[in-house]
Structure 1
Amino acid sequence: MAEPFKNLAWDDFRLIKAVADAKGLPAAAAAIGVNHSTVFRRLKQVEEQLGALLFERHRTGYALTPAGEELVALANRLDEEITSVGRKLAGREPAPSGELRVTTPDSLLIHLLMPMLATFRERYPEVRLDIVLSNQPLNLSKRDADVAVRATDHPPENLVGRRVARIAWALYGRAIDFPDPAAATPEELEARNWVSLGDTLGTLKAVKFVQENVTPDRVAYKINSVLGLAEAVEAGIGIGHLPCVIGDARPSLVRLAPPNEDYAADLWLLTHPDLRHSPRVRAFLDFLAVEIARHRRFIEGEAGHQAEPPEAPPTA
Structure 2
Amino acid sequence: MISNELDWNDLRFFLTVARTRSLTKTATALKVSQSTVARRIEAIENSLRANLFAHHQTGYFLTDAGQDILKYAEEVEERILLLASRVSGLDLRPVGTVRLATAETLASQLIIPALSRFSARFPDITLEIITGVNTVSITRHDADLALRLVRPEQNSLKIRRVGRMASAVYGSETYLRQHPAPDTLPLDRRGFITWDSSYNHLPSAKWLSGTYPNAPATLVITSVVSQIAAVKASLGLAVLPCFIASQNSEMVEVIPTEQVFAEDLWLVSHADLTASTRIRAVADFLVKIIAEAQLV
Common topology (TM > 0.5) = yes
Give a deviation string over 1:189-209, Cα, whole Å, max 9, x none.
142111122333323343123
In the TM superposition, 1:262-277 aligns within 5 A as 263-277=261-275
Residue 263 (structure 1) shift: 2.2
2:209 is the alignment partner of 1:211: yes
Query: 1:167 offset after TM fit, Å?
Result: 0.1
User: Match for 2:131 among 116, 126, 133?
Assistant: 133
Deviations 1:81-138 (A, max 9, x none): x899678647625241011111222211221111322211110001111121224251
Deviates more, 1:258-267 or 1:94-103: 258-267
Contact residue 91 and residue 275 of structure 1 kept, 8 A: no
Rounded to whole Å, the distance in 1 between the matches of 2:78 and 2:139 is 14
Structure 1 residues 201-280: aligned runs within 5 Å: 201-214=199-212, 218-260=216-258, 263-280=261-278
CA distance in 1, matches of 2:248, 2:278: 33
Amino acid at match of 2:217: V
Cα gap change, 1:237/1:118 in structure 2, threshold over 3 Å: closer, same or farther?
Answer: same
Task: Give me the whole-angstrom Cα distance separating, in 2, the residues matched to 1:175 and 1:155.
Answer: 42
| Identity level (%) | 29
Q: Which residue of 2 aligns with 1:198?
A: 196
Alignment of 1:282 with 2:280, yes or no, is yes
* DSSP-derived class of the 1:168 partner: strand
How far apart in 1 are the matches of 2:218 and 2:277?
A: 48
Secondary structure at the aligned position of 2:220 is classed as strand
Give the secondary-structure state (helix, strand or coil) at the position aligned to 2:225: helix
Q: Distance in 2 between matches of 1:172 and 1:142?
A: 38
- Residue ranges of structure 2 left out of the alignment (5+ in a row): 1-47, 52-62, 82-92
Q: Deviations over 1:147-193 (max 9, x none)?
A: 11122245654321422210000000001233699975353514211
CA contact (8 A) 2:165 2:265 kept: yes
- 1:131 maps to a residue whose letter is I
Aligned counterpart in structure 1 of residue 169 of structure 2, from 168, 171, 180: 171
The secondary structure found in structure 1 opposite 2:230 is helix
**Which position in structure 2 is the counterpart of 1:72?**
none
User: Which residue does the alignment assign to 2:79?
Assistant: 92
Aligned residues of 2:107 and 2:129 also touching (Cα < 8 A): no
The within-5 A match list for 1:53-132 is 89=76, 92=79, 94=81, 95-132=93-130
Give the distance between the partners of 1:257 and 1:188, measured in 2 at CA. Answer: 8
Question: Match of 2:139, as an amino acid?
Answer: S
Distance 1:182 1:157, change over 3 A: farther
Distance in 2 (alpha carbons) for counterparts of 1:100 and 1:112: 17
Of 268-277 and 194-203, more deviation after overlay is shown by 194-203
Q: Structure 1 regions of 5+ residues with no counterpart?
A: 1-8, 13-31, 35-78, 301-316
In the TM superposition, what is the alpha-carbon distance from 1:255 to its structure 2 partner? 0.4
Opposite residue 141 of structure 1, the aligned amino acid is T
SS at 2:175 equivalent: coil
Rounded to whole Å, the distance in 2 between the matches of 1:127 and 1:151 is: 25
